[in-house]
Amino acid sequence: MFDSMFGMTNALEKGLDACALRNQVIADNIANADTPGFKASRVKFEEYVKSAIEEGGGLALKKTREKHMDIGTPGIEGVRPQVVADTGTTMRMDGNNVDVEYEMNELAKNNIEYYALLQKMNSEFIRLRTAITEGR
């Protein structure tokens, strides 16, 4: 019962964790933009979630009543974001591959995603509070 109630919040929590980690990695990349030989890193998460969902047969909808649906997230329980170094490219003669403009763009996209996930998490808690208080 609790899995169906909190399945979405668990998935959103994983997404928020990935965004927080991505923010740290991007900040580290920007801080080392002038460090000779430094290689930028990336956070891989969405690819792992997509493959976990595809391996699990997709998002199956389970109806508990005619007008109710459970949109749980099967298969993503063990998915964790991973930091991967980008060793295949070089931007400068000293071996550094950090493109500050690209990193700033990624930071802006990541912040938008983080706040969208946070807003969705807040709406899930409001929905749960409404269910607990029976709409009062």
Quick: pLDDT tens for 16-34.
999 999 999 999 999 999 9
Amino acid 70: pLDDT: 47
Cβ count within 10 A of residue 108: 11
Amino acid 35: pLDDT: 94
Rounded to two decimals, the pTM is: 0.77
Angle between helices 100-132 and 2-31 (to 10 degrees): 160
The C-alpha angle with vertex 122 and arms to 22 and 77, in degrees rounded to 5, equals 55
- Give the residues of the chain that fall short of pLDDT 50: 1, 59-61, 69-70
